[in-house]
């Protein structure tokens, strides 16, 4: 049991460093917080956390190794992810100036439904091939093959909850009245800057050596 706790600590630390690093997940939560407010941002965060489950499932089943070892399938995942992130970038680049005094959802951008916000978060994480590589590496390098699948699934559940929790905290912070009002003064420029970031992520997925 002690070995499992040591293993879990290593997995949790590696995941913490990864989830706290800026990436498409952080960028989309920041955009949702500024553009649509706390409720949308939190549901997006829950979608991101749930997206982790997909990576965990195929890592446990060994399907991830098949994806990684097959240039065709990994290419499909990579280009789908790049296309989705690029689409987010184009949407951000089209942002218009907002009325700082307007209520959330009255700034010229239609507020997504709960399902739409959740799906945005889920797809942003699930279609990120760098997340695929991270979880494959995590389970190959840090998790002993002899560790029971139930224990490994518990590791995955922890990472899912921790991810959703982290981005929920990010959502709460960036939707505080003072913080959000400050961002909204130049909100459309921030949106456009995030659009460039998304397009940069998309380009790195296509051109980078993965």
Q: What pTM value is reported for the model? A: 0.71
Residue 92 lies in a domain: yes
Q: How many domains does the chain have?
A: 1
Residue 31 has pLDDT above 60, yes or no: yes
Residue 19 lies in a domain: no
Range of the domain at 191: 2-11+26-207
Residue 18 lies in a domain: no
Condensed to tens digits (0 to 9), the pLDDT of residues 84-132 reads: 767 767 877 776 665 544 444 444 557 889 999 999 999 999 888 778 7
- Position 105 scores a pLDDT of 46
Model confidence at 61, pLDDT cuts 50, 70, 90, reads confident
Residue 171 has pLDDT above 80, yes or no: yes
Residue 16 lies in a domain: no
Residue 173 lies in a domain: yes
3-state SS string for the chain = CHHHHHHHHHHHHHHHHHHHCCCHHHHHHHHHHHHHCHHHHHHHHHHHHHHHHHHHHHHHHCHHHHHHHCHHHHHHHHHHHHHHHHHHHHHHHCCCCCCCCCCCCCCCCCCCCHHHHHHHHHHHHHCCHHHHHHHHHHHHHCCCCCCCHHHHHHHHHHHHHHHHHHHHHHHHHHCCHHHHHHHHCCHHHHHHHHHHHHHHHHHHHHHCCC
Residue 105 lies in a domain: yes
Residue 21 lies in a domain: no
Residue 38 lies in a domain: yes
């Amino acid at each position: 049991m002690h070995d499992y706790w040591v293993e879990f600590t290593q997995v949790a630390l590696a995941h913490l460093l990864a989830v706290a690093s800026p990436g498409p997940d952080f960028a989309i939560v920041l955009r949702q917080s500024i553009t649509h407010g706390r409720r949308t941002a939190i549901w997006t965060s829950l979608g991101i956390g749930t997206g982790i489950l997909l990576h965990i499932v195929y890592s446990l089943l060994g399907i991830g190794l098949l994806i990684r070892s097959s240039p065709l399938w990994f290419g499909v995942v990579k280009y789908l992810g790049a296309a989705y992130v690029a689409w987010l970038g184009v949407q951000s680049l089209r942002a218009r100036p907002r009325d700082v005094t307007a209520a959330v959802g009255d700034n010229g951008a239609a507020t997504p439904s709960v399902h739409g916000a959740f799906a945005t978060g889920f797809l942003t994480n699930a279609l990120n091939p760098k997340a695929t590589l991270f979880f494959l590496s995590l389970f190959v390098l840090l998790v002993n093959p002899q560790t029971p699948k139930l224990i490994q699934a518990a590791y995955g559940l922890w990472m899912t909850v921790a991810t959703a929790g982290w981005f929920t905290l990010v959502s709460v912070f960036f939707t505080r009245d003072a913080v959000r009002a400050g961002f909204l003064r130049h909100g459309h420029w921030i949106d456009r800057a995030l659009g460039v970031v998304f397009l940069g992520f998309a380009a790195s997925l296509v051109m980078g050596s993965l």
